[in-house]
Amino acid sequence: MSASRTRPMTIGELSRQSGVPVKTLRAYTDLGLIYTLGRSPAGYRLYTADALWCVRFIGRLRGLGLTVAEIGELTTANLHGPDTPVGAHLAELLHRSRERLRQRIAAQQQILNRIEKFQAEHRADLAEADLCWAGDPQCA
């Protein structure tokens, strides 16, 4: 092992290497998603290179749409040992993420449809330089 692999790093170093803000790393630590070696004599949280892997893996899971709470569920399931089917749990979490995304896409599509309908209904009004809507008190 290299010296950098065995040498503990501070939260600032972990932040620089991972690109994740210190505030987020503190939250991940407080939630039990990443572990510390403890604290330095100066009170800084200390991490191993394993924490860097965890932070990157959390980033990949977040990129797949999993919430921090869901990642915590997965971590908890993993801690319960080999009897817990982590793969099946991850598949269920990915299914949830996919459904959330489909719902957001549907909601955005509805907004897009409303915009298109509005523009079609008010094409002439929108082309005017001085727009005045019926009932607008500023247009009286």
What is the residue whose two structure tokens read 């897009």? Answer: 112
Q: Positive or negative CA dihedral for 85, 87, 89, 92?
A: negative
> What pTM was computed for the model?
0.75
Within 10 angstroms of residue 127's Cβ, the number of other Cβ atoms is 8
* Cβ pair 22, 33 in contact under 8 A: no
Residue 123: phi and psi, rounded to 5, are -55, -45
pLDDT at position 81: 62
Local confidence pLDDT in tens for the 140 residues of the chain:
444 457 899 999 999 999 999 999 999 999 999 989 999 899 889 999 999 999 999 999 999 999 999 999 888 766 666 666 788 889 999 999 999 999 999 999 999 999 999 989 888 777 776 777 777 787 76
Q: Measured between alpha carbons, how far is 32 from 72 in angstroms, rounded to an integer?
A: 8
Q: Measured between alpha carbons, how far is 123 from 130 in angstroms, rounded to an integer?
A: 14
